[in-house]
Structure 1
Amino acid sequence: MVVLVGNPRTQSRTHTAALQAAQAIAERLGLGAPAEVVDLSVLAPELPGVVPSPAVQRALELVAGADVLVVASPTYKGTYTGLLKLFLDRLPGGALASAVALPLLVMGDPKHALAVEVHLRPLLVELGATVPTPGVALLESQLPTAEEVLGPWADRVVPQVAATLAGGVAAAR
């Protein structure tokens, strides 16, 4: 499992929520190893280069090699961050074909709740990911008790994630 965090702030609330979501999914799937994390705030200075730095290249390979990929971003201007888009634009078409992706957006206003389905899901699908479940729209006001939202969400989506993995999406490598 890999967690991709598109918040420009290091150790952000989005980062924390993404790790909580990954943990909830991993526990229910019976995965023992902790998720590997790609925190784009750390890579931000290196992302605009024409040729990816070794750190960016490793991050791209880690994300492309994920069986389960949690992609998290705060909602900026009604969608995901430009930092996340800049990183994902470096992946070739189909790079996520072996991944089950789980989109997560953190937002201040519930009117942005559809952004996870209308903006982030299509981006992941365009890159070849299988997105078998609804994404998570977490309000900032829910972050102190995010487990109360993420636990029931994980209970709902894990059967679909497990079935997709068993069906060979990750085995397509």
Structure 2
Amino acid sequence: MTVTVVVGNPKPASRTLSAGVALAAALRPETEPAVIDLVDLGPGLLGWGDPAVAAAARTVAGSELVIFASPTFKATYTGLLKLFLEQFDGGTGLAGVVAVPLMLGAGPAHALAPDLLLKPVLVELGATTALPGLYLSDRTFGEDGVLTAYADRWRPVVQALSTVPSVK
């Protein structure tokens, strides 16, 4: 199974990246994920035709499981992630991809943000979003057990979805 983590944090090597990689490892421990830290793509995200952005989009579209990770920023996901998601065609751009929305925040006030704000965009782009989004505390996710409990609950679903023939 091809697994990719897309990180929409404007800070490189962020806690968001750490959480995304940890979730990918917990859901598919036998697979080393590709990591796309969008901050590394910089101004290439602002236009069309940048080769590095196009390569990143191809990696995502060709993946079976993608963790889309973002900090909660102004009560939603970051503009950096939005710019990247605009690279995909509506309805078909993420067809065949199982997408998991992951967001981190300082407190529980935005706990519904992954499902309420990020998941609909992923669905609009054609992704399969069978798993609920995951919201983590950006300060305690490494030791609070929430990520592990989520992965334990949803790993069998990811496994089942990866055995379904792809439409790619």
Q: Which moved more, 1:154-163 or 1:72-81?
A: 154-163
Q: What corresponds to 2:159 in structure 1?
A: 162
Contact 1:25 1:158 in 2 (8 A): yes
Contact 1:13 1:143 in 2 (8 A): no
Determine which of 17, 22, 25 is the counterpart of 1:20: 22
One-letter amino acid of the structure 1 residue matched with residue 113 of structure 2: A
Normalised to the residue count of structure 1, the TM-score between the two structures is 0.91
Determine which of 13, 21, 44 is the counterpart of 1:46: 44
Aligned counterparts of 2:60 and 2:162: Cα–Cα separation in 1 = 16
Residues 1:172 and 2:167 are matched in the alignment = yes
Q: What corresponds to 1:109 in structure 2?
A: 107
One-letter amino acid of the structure 1 residue matched with residue 157 of structure 2: Q
Aligned counterparts of 1:4 and 1:149: Cα–Cα separation in 2 = 20
Contact 2:9 2:16 in 1 (8 A): yes
Tell me the secondary structure at the aligned position of residue 3 of structure 1.
strand
Aligned counterparts of 1:81 and 1:35: Cα–Cα separation in 2 = 22
Alpha-carbon RMSD:
1.2
Matches within 5 A, 1:134-149: 134-145=132-143, 148-149=145-146
Give the superposition deviation at 1:44. Answer: 2.0
Q: What corresponds to 1:118 in structure 2?
A: 116
Determine which of 18, 35, 38 is the counterpart of 1:37: 35
Aligned counterparts of 1:116 and 1:107: Cα–Cα separation in 2 = 11
One-letter amino acid of the structure 1 residue matched with residue 160 of structure 2: A
Q: What corresponds to 1:58 in structure 2?
A: 55
**Percent of pairs with identical residues:** 44
Normalised to the residue count of structure 2, the TM-score between the two structures is 0.93
Contiguous gaps of at least 5 residues in structure 1: none
Contiguous gaps of at least 5 residues in structure 2: none
Contact 1:3 1:38 in 2 (8 A): yes
One-letter amino acid of the structure 2 residue matched with residue 16 of structure 1: S
Aligned counterparts of 1:99 and 1:143: Cα–Cα separation in 2 = 25
